Amino acid sequence: MRSLFCRLLTGLAKGLAGALLLAVAVSARAGPCTPLRAGMSPLGVAFFKQDGQARGYDVELLQEMARRLGCGFEIVEMNRPRIFQSLERGELIDLATSTSRTPERDQYATFVPMAQTRDYLLVHSQLATPGFDLNQFVAAPGLRLGILAGSNYSSVINARLAVMASQGRVETTVNADALIPRLIAGRYDGLIVTPAYFVAALRDMPEAKDLRALPVQESEPYLSGIYLSRKSLDENRRQRIREALEAIHQDGTLLRILRRYFPESMARERAAFKAP
């Protein structure tokens, strides 16, 4: 009996020692859980302030990510060009939200897709006649277009923008909140934007009831997501964040978040992407 009891104690001790070593190994892999710094700028329903509080689907996405990682996060508010400059230099921020993928950004950050989106031409109703599209907009010499600095467009749209820019018909702003008010005021005649910019405005702003969103037919749906800095985040931490974000997509949490901000068809389209 005594021999059996000793063997049991020895086995228990080995088991506890093994569990402790495993816990230490997991802790070492996780690394220090310092708050993540997210570079964000006001961007329609992605990020906005309400009663002084940060709101939007990007904010909810980061909250869910932080919950799963057991880490906090802080929002560093800056304009879009500054976000990418900071991300490239490894300064001020660790990640950027609601950004499309480009070869240039891939050189200094890791892309994690979190949405599928598409571009729309937003115009006043008098322009939105049957058959009117971006090509007709470009062909009309008196029409001006507004765009947000730091936006990334397809080669099709870029070609049209180049034509209009050469004619002095493109106005660029770093302030996303100013885009739709300037269109309403007649500062320009159209915008190229994604649904994140206009769904709340068309629903809630009386002054925007005259606006119409026309899909840019020549532009295919593309991925939008989160870029993780390679300079401020080591490989292990980027992997943990990537795994948390992928789980948020796969288990349906992403779709539940998007449904609070988009009509059902748009929410489903945004969530119906396949990771590359």
205 class by beta-carbon count within 10 Å (0-12 exposed, 13-18 middle, 19+ buried): middle
Q: Using one digit for the tens of pLDDT, what is the confidence trace for 206-220?
A: 999 999 999 998 778
Residue 251 has pLDDT above 50, yes or no: yes
Q: Is the pLDDT of residue 260 over 80?
A: yes
Q: How far apart are CA 252 and CA 241, in angstroms?
A: 17
Is the pLDDT reported for residue 148 higher than 80? yes
Q: pLDDT value at position 4?
A: 37
Distance (Å, rounded) from C-alpha 13 to C-alpha 21? 12
C-alpha span between 64 and 58 (Å, rounded): 10
pLDDT at 141 over 50: yes
In this structure, whether the domain defined by 120-215 belongs to CATH 3.40.190.10 is answered with yes
pLDDT of 32: 53
* Cα–Cα distance, 40 to 190 (Å, whole number): 25
Mean pLDDT on 96-121: 95
Poorest-pLDDT segment among 13-17, 103-107, 200-204, 206-210: 13-17
**Whether the Cβ atoms of residue 224 and residue 119 lie closer than 8 Å to each other:** no
pLDDT of res. 117: 93
pLDDT at 1: 42
Q: Above 80 in pLDDT, residue 15?
A: no
Is residue 201 pLDDT above 70, yes or no?
yes
Q: How confident is the model at residue 20 (pLDDT cuts 50, 70, 90)?
A: very low
pLDDT digits 0-9 by tens, 66-107: 999 999 999 999 999 999 999 999 999 999 999 999 999 999
The answer on pLDDT for 139 being more than 60 is: yes
The pLDDT confidence band at residue 151, using thresholds 50, 70 and 90, is: confident
Distances (CA, A) of 64 to 15, 163, 186, 241: 34, 43, 40, 11
CATH 3.40.190.10 domain position(s) in the chain: 36-117+222-271, 120-215
One of 3.40.50.1820, 3.40.30.10, 3.40.190.10, 3.40.47.10 is the CATH number of 36-117+222-271, namely 3.40.190.10
* Rg of the chain, C-alpha, whole Å: 24
Residue 5 pLDDT > 70, yes or no? no
